[in-house]
Amino acid sequence: MSFWSGQQYQSPGGFDPQLPRTLFLLLLSVASARGVTQNPKDCVAFQSEKGSSISCHPPAELPSSLPADTFHLVLELFNLTQLPPDILKGASKLQELHLSSNRLESLAAEFLLPAPQLRVLDLTRNALTRLPPGLFQASAALETVVLKENQLEVLEASWLHGLKALGFLDLSGNRLRKLPAGLLANFTLLRTLDLGGNQLETLPPDLLRGPLRLQRLHLEGNRLQVLGKELLEPQPDLRYLFLNDNKLAKVAAGAFRGLRQLDMLDLSNNSLASVPEGLWAPLAQPGRDMQDGFDISGNPWICDQKLNDLYRWLEATKDKMFSQNATRCAGPEAVKGQTLLAVAGSQ
C-alpha cells in the first residue's frame, strides 16, 4: 500500500540505505564547490573521527587495499559476480559494508572473518541463491543483514549461525517458498523481520519463537492462505504487521490474541469473506488505539450477521481505517457493492 511504503527502513534501530549515499553526495558536492577535482577511476574517501569511509561506484576501480581505519565501505553497481578474495583484508575496524547492485552469486565462507566489528551488511539486489555455512562465524556484532532482492529459494538455519546481535533481517524480494522451523530461535534481539515479496505458502507455527521483542513484521506479497493462532502469540510488542497481498481466506479466532501494542495492521488484498468472532477484541484497546491505522480493503467480504463483531469494531475505530471506499461487500446480494462501513452503520 502506498501510504506506508517507504517506511520500511524507518523503524527504531532500523537502517536507512539511502542515508549514507545522501550524505556522501552532499559531501561530494561540498568538495566540488571547493574546486577539488576527482579522478573518476578513484573511489571517494572521507575522513572523520571514526576513520575512513570509502565509496566506490563505476567507473571507479575496486581498491586493491583499504586503509586500516576503514569503518564504512561501499562497493555498489559493479555487476561483480564474485568478490575479489581478500577484499576486506586489513579492514578490522569495518562497521558497515554496502555491496548492493552487484551480481554476486556466492560468497566465500571466510569473507567476513577480517571484519569482526561489522554492524551492517547490505547485499541488496544481487544473485545469491545460498549462503555458505559459517559465513557469520565471526560476526557477533552484526546487527543489520539485508539480503533483499536476491534469489534465495531456501534458507537454512545453519547459514545464520554466529549472529548474536541481529536486530534487523531483510529477506524480502527473494523466492522463498518455506522456512525451517526454529530459524529465529537464537535471535532474541530481532526487532524487524521482512519476508515480504516471497512465495511463502505457509510458515512454521513456531517461526516467531526466539525474538523477545519483535516490532515490525512484513509478510506482504506472499501466498499465505491461513493465519493460525500460534504464529503471533510470542510477540506481544509487535507494532507493525503487514499481511496484505496474500491469499488469506482464514484467520484463526485467537490469531491476534497476544497483541497488545499493535499500531498498524494491513490485511488488504486478501481472500477474506468472513472472520471469526472475537478476532478484533484484543486490538485497539483503550490507550493503544491502532494509532497508525488499519486496512481490510480488497477482500470479498460477505456482509451477513457473522460479521456483527467486525461491524461493532469498525464503528468504534473507523477514524483509523484506510481505504474505506475500497472496503466493500461481495455478498450477499442485498448489500453487494456496499461499503462495510455503510452496512455496519445500518446495523
Ligand X SMILES: *[C@@H]1O[C@H](CO)[C@@H](O)[C@H](O)[C@H]1NC(C)=O
List residues near ligand X by CB under 6 A: 58, 78-79, 157, 161, 182, 185-186, 221, 245, 269, 298, 325
Kindly tell me which of 192 and 269 has the beta carbon lying closer to ligand X. 269
The 3-class SS string of 305-327 reads HHHHHHHHHHHHHHHHECCHHHC
Query: In the complex, what is the shortest distance from the CB of residue 161 to ligand X, in angstroms, rounded to a whole number?
Result: 6
Residue type, 16: D
Q: Give which of 262, 251, 206 is closest to 224, Cα–Cα.
A: 251
CA angle 25–26–27, rounded 5-degree value: 90
Query: In the complex, what is the shortest distance from the CB of residue 268 to ligand X, in angstroms, rounded to a whole number?
Result: 7
Query: In the complex, what is the shortest distance from the CB of residue 221 to ligand X, in angstroms, rounded to a whole number?
Result: 5
Kindly tell me which of 17 and 298 has the beta carbon lying closer to ligand X. 298
Query: In the complex, what is the shortest distance from the CB of residue 248 to ligand X, in angstroms, rounded to a whole number?
Result: 11
The beta-strand segments (E) located in 76-143 are: 96-98, 120-122
Q: Is the peptide bond before 67 cis (omega within 30 degrees of 0)?
A: no
Kindly tell me which of 32 and 81 has the beta carbon lying closer to ligand X. 81
Query: In the complex, what is the shortest distance from the CB of residue 285 to ligand X, in angstroms, rounded to a whole number?
Result: 30
Q: Give which of 160, 294, 216, 200 is closest to 15, Cα–Cα.
A: 216
Quick one: DSSP state of residue 345? H
Helix (H, G, I), strand (E, B) or coil at 53: strand
Query: In the complex, what is the shortest distance from the CB of residue 166 to ligand X, in angstroms, rounded to a whole number?
Result: 11
Kindly tell me which of 106 and 338 has the beta carbon lying closer to ligand X. 338
Kindly tell me which of 199 and 347 has the beta carbon lying closer to ligand X. 199
Q: Find the DSSP H helices in the chain.
A: 18-33, 308-317, 340-345
Q: Give which of 66, 67, 76, 61 is closest to 17, Cα–Cα.
A: 76
Kindly tell me which of 206 and 309 has the beta carbon lying closer to ligand X. 206
